Amino acid sequence: MHWMMREIEIAASTSKNVAFDDKSRLVTLTWRESKMDQEGATISRTLQCLCPGACDISCPYAVLPVLVNFACLQGNEGASLSVCVEGTVATKAQLVADWRDLFGN
């Protein structure tokens, strides 16, 4: 939700698409497939931690390391960031269903 990405962009994201700058508390997501990048030049978005103290679930800088570590530990193909509880890569339909469960239609 932090990144306002489409489900196809989320489904294609892997640990290789994430870069951290610990000194500035920045996290950058980069991807190639997007409606907003019809030339295929890649798109990057960078968000910064703005937490006054300890980070929580609303902080993108805190959430992405958890997702990247989980993806890498699961050993799924390409360390996809969209994985099911079983460790398999989530399908587009599963992502949409989970978003509906969390946020409604």
pLDDT attached to residue 77: 59
Position 84 confidence tier, pLDDT thresholds 50, 70, 90: confident
Burial 53-81, CB ≥16 within 10 A → b, else e:
eeeeeebbbbbbeebbeebeebebeebbb
pTM listed for this prediction: 0.71
Task: Please give the backbone phi and psi of residue 21, each rounded to the nearest 5 degrees, phi first.
Answer: -120, 95
pLDDT attached to residue 21: 93
Segment 1-21 mean pLDDT: 79
